[in-house]
Structure 1
Amino acid sequence: MNEKIIVHADSCYRTAEQKAASYFASLYEQVMAKTYVPALTEDIRLWKRSHIPLQSWFSLLSRGKGKSDTKNYYRHIQWLKHTGKLDDYLDRSVSYIYMRDLGKVMDSPDTQARIQRLAADIKHRLIHSTATNRGEQPDFISLAGLYRWAQKEGVETAAIWVIEKLRLVSTHIPEEMNAEHAQRKLIKIIVGVVLHVIEEMGDERSPAERARRLDEAIRLGYSYGLTYPFIDDLLDAQVLTDQEKAQYSDVIRTALLTGTVPELGEWSGTSKTMVQFVHAELREAFEYIKHQQQPETQHLFFEQTYVFFHSQELDRAKELSNSTYTNEELYIPIILKSASSRLIARSVIRAPEDEGFENRTFFYGIYNQLADDFADMFDDQRDGAVTPYTYYLTYRDQRPDLINPFELYWTVIVHLIHNVYHSDAKTREIILDRAINGLKRCKARLGAEKYNSIMEIFACGNPAFNRLVQHMVQKADDVDFLDKLLRDQMVAILRNDRKEKEAFFETIATAREQINSMLRLAKPDGILPMRETLIDAANYSLEGGGKRLRPILTWVMGVQEYGLRAQSIVPLLRSLEYMHTASLIFDDLPSQDNASTRRGRPTLHQVHNSATAELTGLVLMQKAIQEQASLESFDAKNVIALMQYSAQKTEDMCIGQAMDLNSKGKALTLEQLNEICFHKTGIAFEAALVMPAILAQVNEQEIAMLKTFAYHAGIAFQIKDDLLDLEGDVRVLGKPVGQDAENNTSTFVTVLGKEGAQKAMWDHYCLALEALKETPRRTAFLKHLMNYIVNRDR
């Protein structure tokens, strides 16, 4: 069986190679004949009418609106709206997606209607986002935005699944790779597959069928997209040794030829742990895709995937030091890999065969690839990668037979406009917009001097045509695209999120170390033995290695947000941890939760006895009051208000614990669970936020928003605790798992089920972040606190 598959794979590659060779031969003839020059000169003459308007008094006066900074997402969208350019901007952006990703023709009324609907929907989202987010990341590329969309479509389970998958991938991308671009490409593929499915479904599906297909599309998109960071990028990067790359490539090739992912086998390289994760994740993805294929069309997926992988391998094996590659060797693998990558996406979703789509995609792929290679040529040259541009730069003087890739790029454009899309005016508009925009972006990135020196090399054969193109680069307006804006925005967001996440954990580590150093109760000389016992018991509980989230949160809000002196709020930090530790001691007692371990150690009543534990809890509560009373740097009225608030919240927490104990063995409703959870957990988060706000004399409206945030954060925290009790690792948690089931305790998991509990947690995650938007202080720490709450493993 395997032999037949291998023979078929080789045969399908030869067939694809012959088609690519024929396409390249056609392009070669056009390049040699320079037919692209007169054709494109006329195309640009027609195109520039809408991009370089004739000078008039009106146009001069209208320039008062200025030009936008396309690097700033919010300002650019607002500028487009203000100048009345937003509709055209979205029309060309969506049209380009329909051409590139969905393989559509622009002269179809149905396609135009779909473009208009999608553009209108995007416009609504953009305007809403720029009006409400005040410079933060757009809702629709945030986790909360993704989950809210998933709720609307009924695919919350798939969204939760892919969020966790993306988190795992981000933690396993090696430092030597560009993590942000790897994640961006993966997300782009997921979105592309979802768009494909939405387009294929049309508008006549039932909500249940639509949800089923979208759920599948999200998982298929991730499964296919995973190949980009963990096959293409990993094999291109300097992460694996040559031996490791060969071993890894053999595993992939075997999977494609046999339909089964082989075992990894012995792996002696330094990347063993990372490769084991990648292998397991790719195998799961491969099996999911294979399972979704129909038996009669499964061969299409394997054939196209093999063509893509083999052409990539041929391309990757080239060495810049080799001066003998033919034009065919340089370009045919590029034609194949650029076309098959999109054909795979269509076969992944089991879309019906469409000869028109396949032909357009086959001819279109090299257009994007040449544009991408042009943009990346200096990075590729630095890395020693062989692309048409790096090879031409290296050997152009020695090899007069080499095709100039820049000329080939324009030839492909002419071929697409006139031979593939039959001189359609809107197609010409979109493709030339894209080409000129790419050169504009390149010039802005490189600087005029370096850009001009590159043009002298690549455009020297056609000076008149080059002058025309550069005039367009200099003067043409309205050629930018939303996908490029979002690309830059997403990379910036991912990069900024990574920095903020690092700062978040650095802040936690630093603050925790400082807080731990100040918690221990001192033992005065000559104290009574029993007092010494209680102090030792209190210190035992305080030194248990807790997360210290509450005092850390108070420190961040007090010092970083409200500008309070760090030393002045030390008593408040102590009081919070004393109260929290006391509550845990009481919770663990045999008369209450009867826990045997806490923070990875025996509980206090196990080490001493219940009476000592009870008294120690009371000592810590009194110590908390003493600490609050010693806040001497603040106005006495504010300190008294803080103590009154603290006393009330302590009483509320006791009520919550009583409610919890009274509920043992009873079936609770979701409303009852929420109430108990708020009193037991939410109030503690609220106190950590509100107490420093009281000292800083924050207004009541902002405090109300903080309380709303804390309410939802607390419930999300408790739901995550319940999920960890179901399936957490006792070695990581530091306490037994399965206690809730053993004690017949109603939890969010028992009431809602695992899937329902996950959905509720993410809903409260969204509600917490939505409340945070209403506060004037958009601290990144609170956003990452929510990410930590839902993603933690302890």
Structure 2
Amino acid sequence: MVKTLLVDADHGYRQAERKAARYFDLLNKQVVEQAHVPALTSAIQLWKRTRIRRPAWRSMLAWQSKRPHAGDGYRYIQWLQRNGKLDDYLERSVSYMFMRDLGKSVSSSNTQAKIKRTAADIKRWLQNSAASGGNLELISLASLYRWAQKESVETTIIWAIDKLKHVAAHIPEGMSAEHAQRKLIKIIVGVVLHALEEMNGDELPAERARRLDEAIRLGYCYGLTYPFIDDLLDAQVLTDHEKTLYSQMIRTTLLTGTVPAMGEWKGMNRLLLQFAQSELREAFSYIKRHQPPKKQALFFEQAFVFFHAQELDRAKDLSDASYSNEDLYVPIILKSASSRLLARSILAASHDEEFEQHTFYYGIYNQLADDFADMETDKASGAVTPYTYYLTHRDQRPDLINPYELYWTVIFHLIQHVYRDDGKACEVILDRAINGLRRCKERIGSEEYGRLMKQFAFGGSAFHRLLQQMVDKAENVDFFDKLLRDRLVGMLRDDQSLKQEFHDTVHAAREQINESLPITKTEGLLPMKELLIDAANYSLAGDGKRLRPVMTWFMGVQYYGLTASSIVPLWRSLEYMHTASLIFDDLPTQDNASMRRGRLALHQVHNSATAELTGLLLIQRSTQEQASLEFDAETVLALIQYSAQAAEEMCAGQAMDLASKGRALTLDQLNAICFHKTGLAFEAALIMPAILARASKQEIAVLKAYAYHTGIAFQIKDDLLDQEGEAQVLGKPVMQDSANNTSTFVTVLGQEDARKQMWSHYCLAVEALGQLPRRCDFLRLVLDYMINRER
């Protein structure tokens, strides 16, 4: 069956190509005539009056010594605030976003008012974040979820977070999961910006939330094309045959609006391609459902132009010296403009002539800046960009346009012909250009940067010196979005290394803990005591997560600097107490569970009486271990007293839980039971090493707040897994809560609201961590593990 075509591929692409060719001819003519050099010189001379100051040498040295690096997060933001530069910094950054992403002229009073409001909102957010805890990150899951709560799109953000993790988990070796996530986030943010711009501020909260929900989901659907079309076809992951078949599938999708069935794919990449096809099918179906029929053709036509331009670029071979300037630049103009046009058209937004014109002319400016920044990577991989091609063939091809000169020609064209010499637009564009050169110089070093500039220098020595003087001396050319980008890249990169470090730490700690847990049997034991010890070791040997003793190990050894050998009795005592509580929980008189830690519960192996006595034995062993700690007597007594009080409260929590069976509980009652049953166990794992380290009362209070919210988040995840998980993965039966007629967060709130509660407590726990005197990534990763675990 032949599918109906939505797009006339040849006509649409030829029309776009002619427009791009005319723009390139215009730029090429300006390069030939060299009118851009004197015009740019005048513009830069005027601009530098506000960007180069001449303080006395003493004050200059003092200023340089105090100024943090522009990418240094809150320290740099705080420095800007102290020096009265924050408002200008944020307004400059927001102005650039309005120009680049929204295609706005920043000269209009309406746009200026929006820029000031947006900058003020960002400033308030920064100030509130700083006030709530100095260790908070500029970008974090907690801050994202707090925004989602404010906008009533929590469910959407939970969905998006899950999708991002799902995509990252399927990025193959040879591609970057961090890069894929960053591009997806960037596209989602771009679509959300357009959705916000489309609103007039009079929408009811429910309508605003609906439109934001749609924008986030559409942004993901569009953004998915980057990792699973563009990046996948660029990477050396698929075979040539697979690339051909996959490209044909994408082409058919864009022409018909429907992802075709894959058919019989074979080879080692079959599962990857099946996943990509499944995700793209879901994404394109969602796009079609949320666009009026009249708008669908426009979106898919623009998407086809983008894809085909990418395909033309992808097919180029760096060793082929025959490409014309038009071959190099026309596809770039098309794909750079199309990527921004798609971010708006996917919303089926109203026609905006200003946006379309500005976006068309502006795109190549960003693309040439990006290609300049990625030059080393592109050349190493053999990718054809104007820069790599020029450096490879310029000696044999004097007709090739210098891409760096074309970049400045585009700047000249934007300033003079697109933005009509508007002072604010000129200032922002030049700020951005100089900032890009400065970042390049910092990244590759002065010597390598100097060599690079010699290869690209144009316009005479005077103009070249002027540019380099600006790179070295201009002030106030930094941008907030660059800071956020650097922090996001760092967060995604560090997240992977921290997760690996976390897993290594947990693995090492679990090995030490597991080796130390078995209770040894001495000669001459009574047969029944020997039986109880065997029963205790059976329960201890199960495939437990050991999360509580691992947290104790980390806090004691890594955070407080205690020796591992000195706190062995402490982590033993915690696991003995925890295992005893599980034995009691599983009894027929309590939760009546048949499986624990992937094996039969202890009362199933022996009997209830033996299980009860084994639990009591482990409790006594726990106290013995605490009493054997080789710290001063006062500290050990304080620890034992705290432990006894915590155990007493946990018993009360279990009694509350048992008494609640068959009753409908309120959320407050659930929270109370959860704290006493679960939160206190996490609290003890943190507070007991803190007591041994003589931590302050304030620090202990912070750890208690963290433990409280972590315990509830952990329990909510347990309740969700009981509804959604698999018994084989969990190591215990599922749907036990329903079978026991037990009120849980899921039964009280429903799955969706339970997830919201889990994320809310996640945020509160993260915010508590921000109050610690020292950063503790491990405890943040414990949180991440808890809400993402499958068992």
Distance 1:7 1:225 in 2: 21
- Does 1:457 find its partner at 2:475? no
Partner of 1:176: 174
Deviation of 1:6 (Å): 7.0
Q: Which amino acid in structure 1 is aligned with residue 644 of structure 2?
A: A
Cα deviations by residue, 1:656-706 (Å, 9 ceiling, x for unpaired)? 111111111111111111111111111111111111122222222222221
For residues 218-617 of structure 1, the aligned pairs below 5 Å read 218-460=216-458, 462-617=460-615
Q: In the TM superposition, what are the counterparts of 1:88-107 in structure 2 within 5 Å?
A: 88-107=88-107
- Secondary structure of 1:757 counterpart: helix
Q: 1:663 to 1:194 in 2, by over 3 A?
A: same
Q: Match for residue 127 of structure 2?
A: 127
Tell me the residue number matched to 2:709: 712
User: 2: distance between equivalents of 1:89 and 1:261?
Assistant: 44
Distance in 1 of aligned mates of 2:466 and 2:110: 35
Which residue of structure 1 aligns with residue 777 of structure 2?
780
For 1:536, the aligned partner's letter is D
Q: 1:723 aligns with which of 713, 720, 724?
A: 720
Contact 1:65 1:83 in 2 (8 A): no
What do the CA deviations read for 1:559-600 (whole angstroms, capped 9, x no partner)?
112222211111111111111111111111111111111111
408-417 or 92-101, larger mean C-alpha shift: 408-417
Aligned amino acid, residue 436 of structure 1: I
1:245-279: CA deviations, max 9, x gaps? 22322222222122111233333333333333333
Counterpart CA distance in 2 for 1:645 and 1:360 is 66
Show the counterpart of 2:700.
Answer: 703
Separation of aligned partners in 1, 2:186 and 2:365: 19
Aligned equivalent of 2:157:
159
Look up the SS of the partner of 1:721 in the other structure: helix
CA distance, structure 1, for counterparts of residue 557 and residue 551 of structure 2: 10
The aligned residue for residue 684 of structure 2 is 687
Contact kept in structure 2, 1:2 and 1:258, CA below 8 Å: no
Q: Which amino acid aligns with 1:671?
A: D
Residues 182-201 of structure 1: CA deviation (Å, up to 9, x unaligned): 32222121111111111111
Cα 1:630–1:290 shift into 2, 3 Å? same
Give the CA deviation at 1:512.
0.9
Please tell me whether the aligned partners of residues 713 and 764 of structure 1 are also in contact (alpha carbons under 8 angstroms): yes
Question: Which shows bigger deviation, 582-591 or 410-419?
Answer: 410-419
- Structure 1 residue 178, shift from structure 2 partner: 3.3
For the pair 1:758 / 2:755, whether they are aligned, the reply is yes
Q: Deviations over 1:131-166 (max 9, x none)?
A: 55435522xx11110111111111111111112122
Which has the higher mean CA deviation after the structures are superposed, 363-372 or 258-267? 258-267
Task: Write out per-residue CA displacement over residues 266-311 of structure 1, whole angstroms, 9 at most, x where no aligned residue.
Answer: 3333333333333322322222222211111111111111111111
Letter in 2 for 1:380: D
Query: Counterparts of 1:48-63 in structure 2 under 5 Å?
Result: 48-53=48-53, 55=54, 61=59
**What is the aligned partner in structure 2 of residue 25 from structure 1?**
25
User: Is the contact made by 1:93 and 1:483 (CA closer than 8 Å) also made in structure 2?
Assistant: yes
Question: Match of 1:742?
Answer: 739
Shift of 1:607: 1.4
Q: Secondary structure at 1:152's aligned position in 2?
A: helix
Q: Is the 8 A contact 1:77 1:130 kept in 2?
A: no
Give distance in 2, aligned partners of 1:290 and 1:228: 19
What residue in structure 1 maps to residue 653 of structure 2?
656
Contact 2:195 2:215 in 1 (8 A): yes
Q: Which moved more, 1:387-396 or 1:518-527?
A: 518-527
Normalised by the length of structure 1, the TM-score is: 0.96
The residue number in structure 1 matching 2:627 is 629
Other-structure match for 1:76: 76
Structure 2 residue identity aligned to 1:105: S
CA 432–408 in structure 1, closer or farther in 2 if over 3 Å, else same: same
The farther-off stretch of 236-245 and 690-699 is 236-245
Query: 1: CA distance between counterparts of 2:675 and 2:474?
Result: 58
**CA positional deviation for 1:447:** 2.1
Which secondary structure state, in structure 2, belongs to the residue aligned with residue 297 of structure 1? helix
Aligned match of 2:115: 115
Deviates more, 1:282-291 or 1:586-595: 282-291
Is the 1:17–1:332 contact (alpha carbons within 8 Å) kept by the matching residues of 2?
A: yes
Q: Is the 8 A contact 1:339 1:361 kept in 2?
A: yes
Alignment check: 8 A CA contact 1:185 1:228 kept: yes
TM-score computed with the length of structure 2 as normaliser: 0.96
Whether 1:642 and 2:623 are equivalent positions in the alignment is no
1:783 counterpart SS class: helix
What letter matches 2:603 in structure 1? Answer: H
Amino acid at match of 2:551: L
SS in 2 for 1:373: helix
Matched residue count: 789
Deviations 1:4-56 (CA, angstroms, capped at 9, x unpaired): 52761222111111111111111121111112122212222222221234x47
Q: Which amino acid in the other structure matches residue 31 of structure 2?
A: V
Shift of the alpha carbon at 1:611? Answer: 1.5
- Whether contact under 8 Å (1:501, 1:784) holds in the other structure is yes
Q: Is the 8 A contact 2:746 2:754 kept in 1?
A: yes
Q: Distance in 2 between matches of 1:210 and 1:62?
A: 48
Instruction: Give distance in 1, aligned partners of 2:277 and 2:609.
Output: 54
Q: SS at the partner of 2:750?
A: helix
For the residues of structure 1 that align with 2:225 and 2:703, how far apart are their CA atoms? 42
Rounded to whole Å, the distance in 2 between the matches of 1:65 and 1:309 is 49
- Whole-angstrom distance in 2 between the partners of 1:514 and 1:548: 11
Q: Among residues 656, 666, 669, which one is paired with 2:663 in the alignment?
A: 666
Cα pair 2:129 2:136 within 8 Å, conserved? no
Distance (Å, rounded) in 1 between the aligned partners of 2:281 and 2:100: 29
User: RMSD value over aligned CA atoms?
Assistant: 1.9
1:486 is displaced (CA, Å) by: 1.6
Corresponding residue SS for 2:742: coil
1:427-465 deviations in whole A, cap 9, x for unaligned? 111111111221122222222222222222222453333
Is 1:290–1:298's contact at 8 Å kept on the other side of the alignment? yes
Measured at CA, do residues 615 and 60 of structure 1 come closer, stay the same or move farther in structure 2, by a change above 3 Å? closer
CA contact (8 A) 2:12 2:305 kept: yes
Distance in 2 between residues matched to 1:363 and 1:2, nearest whole Å: 38
The one-letter amino acid paired with 1:500 is: L
SS at match of 1:5: coil
Does the Cα contact within 8 Å between 1:656 and 1:677 map onto a contact in 2? Answer: yes
Q: Is the 8 A contact 1:137 1:493 kept in 2?
A: no
1:475 Cα deviation (Å)?
2.6
C-alpha distance in 2, partners of 1:741/1:111? 56
The 10-residue stretch of structure 1 (92-101 or 494-503) with the greater mean CA deviation from structure 2: 494-503
Unaligned runs of 5+ in 2: none
Report percent identity of matched pairs.
67
Q: In terms of mean alpha carbon deviation, does 722-731 or 158-167 score higher?
A: 158-167
Give the superposition deviation at 1:468: 2.6
Structure 1 equivalent of residue 140 of structure 2: 142
2: CA distance between counterparts of 1:370 and 1:487?
Answer: 18
Once the two structures are superposed, what CA deviation does each residue of 1:458-506 show, in whole Å capped at 9, x if it has no partner? Answer: 2245333323322322332222211112211221222222221111111
Which amino acid letter does the alignment assign opposite residue 127 of structure 2? I
